[in-house]
Amino acid sequence: MKDSYRHKGLRAKLVKQLKDKGIKDIKVLAAIGAIPRHYFLDNAFDEWAYKDQAFPIGSGQTISQPYTVARQSELLEIFDKCKVLEIGTGSGYQAAVLATMNAKVYSIERQKLLFDKTSSFLPKIGFNSIRTLYGDGYEGSPRFAPFDRIIATAGINEIPKKLFQQLKVGGIMLLPIGDQRGQVMTRILKTSETSYDKETFGKFSFVPFLKGTSGMENHKRKTEEKILR
Ligand code: SAH
């Protein structure tokens, strides 16, 4: 993996584009400016890494559009060493942005193949502090709770009760709430164990969350189905 002058140039342009689209948080812009996003895509798609677009990463999933990553990172109001739980590790890019902003990141992925791939990849490019977890994000992580921040990086149709319980009072949870047709970025501020304030920040388009986990057995079955067809 190489971070060339060309990559750096394209990245600087992307940061400029994000600024023009309204991203103001300098910590967010600095993180996106620092992280080689092309490492998170297959080599063949180098060219795509610095376009403001989502992109497939395998296992039927996508790496979120840079603007979406930037906006979510900004809305989370990250502070030094805050404990963040991410639902939907995917490529690990969003987790890397939050870690670069000095958050302590825990990230859950339900697809075993993606989990394995991203868990071994992140330390290789220097992100040793990100704790990746395999499981159903709807369950959160009782082991590492409570969290200062919780971020969902796929569409969700409600506020999951278990995640709300694992959020500290005063903490923020950011969820794209809706169905396959689109979601509204929703920020929940937990005001007590049983109450919250809610703000919304416009429409977004994410892949939907799926319940439960998908392990090697499922993958094997899918591969077999393909061979049969
Ligand atoms: N944050 C990612 C983008 C994630 S796309 C990045 O920066 O690349 C959404 C991810 O959520 C996919 O990887 C998908 O497999 C995962 N996902 C879907 N349902 C889930 C669930 N219930 N628990 C945990 N992860 C889930």
Residue nearest to atom 16 of ligand 1 (CA): 88
Give the Å distance between the CA of 88 and the centre of ligand 1: 3
Most confident of 123-127, 213-217, 225-229: 123-127
**Mean pLDDT value across residues 67-81:** 98
Q: Which of 157, 200, 207, 204 is nearest to 182 (CA)?
A: 204
User: What count of other Cβ atoms lies within 10 Å of the Cβ of residue 124?
Assistant: 10
What pLDDT digit, counting tens, does each position of 10-58 carry? 999 999 999 999 999 999 999 999 999 999 998 777 878 999 999 888 8
**Mean pLDDT value across residues 62-90:** 97
- Name the residue of 37, 100, 109 to mutate for ligand 1: max ligand atoms within 8 A of Cβ: 109
Report the CATH architecture of 54-227. Answer: 3-Layer(aba) Sandwich (3.40)
84, 150 Cβ separation under 8 angstroms: yes
- Grade residue 224 by pLDDT with cuts at 50, 70 and 90: very low
Q: Does 115 contact ligand 1 (Cβ within 6 A)?
A: no
Catalytic residue among 4, 64, 91, 119: 64
**Is position 129 annotated as part of the catalytic site?**
no
**Which atom of ligand 1 is nearest the CA belonging to 154?**
9
Q: Does 214 contact ligand 1 (Cβ within 6 A)?
A: no
CA angle 72, 78, 83 (to 5 degrees): 105
| Distance separating alpha carbons of residues 108 and 115, to the nearest angstrom | 8
Per-domain residue ranges of the chain? 54-227
**Mean pLDDT value across residues 77-99:** 97
